[in-house]
Structure 1
Amino acid sequence: MRETTMSMSTILWGLLFGSIGLGFFLYGKKQQAIVPLFCGLALMVFPYFVSNTFLLVAIGVALTALPYFVRI
């Protein structure tokens, strides 16, 4: 069984992206905009599954920037 340990930076990055995700989710729900809604949901959920800090930051930045470039 693989043991995973989370560093303090991973926890803080996860908290930051989860907070941004909550903002996107609430905005998308209120404005009925599908892209911010799903990006916000993804930002809140994905830190639970990614343990590498660099990968966490890369995915988080990509999901944070996605609603600014994709308008549906």
Structure 2
Amino acid sequence: MDSWTLILGVIFSSIGLGYFIYGKRQQDLVVRLCGLALMLYPYFFDNHWVVLIVGVGLMVIPRYFKI
């Protein structure tokens, strides 16, 4: 792991915590699951470009998918 991967992991995990709390308060399952995924996925990827692309993708999902 390089420093960019760690920094991006911290940033997207923080955003994921915000998504999770917002989804819990609004009773929105999609936002809550995306927040959980944002907090956990940096542990599984080692390339900073993959971390960036997956993170942005997970941040966009609640905008277009509603249950």
TM-score by length of 2: 0.96
Aligned to 2:34: 39
Query: 5+ residue gaps in structure 2?
Result: none
Structure 1 residue ranges, 4+ long, deviating more than 3 angstroms after superposition:
none
- Based on CA coordinates, which of the two structures has the bigger radius of gyration? 1
Cα-to-partner distance string for 1:17-59 (whole Å, 9 max, x where unaligned): 0011000000011111000000000000000111111111110
Unpaired segments of 5 or more residues in structure 1? 1-5
1:14 corresponds in structure 2 to: 9
Identical aligned pairs, as a percentage? 46
Q: CA shift at 1:71, angstroms?
A: 1.4
Equivalent residue, structure 2, for 1:67? 62
Number of aligned residue pairs:
67
Distance of 2:65 and 2:15 partners within structure 1: 17
Tell me what 2:20 maps to: 25
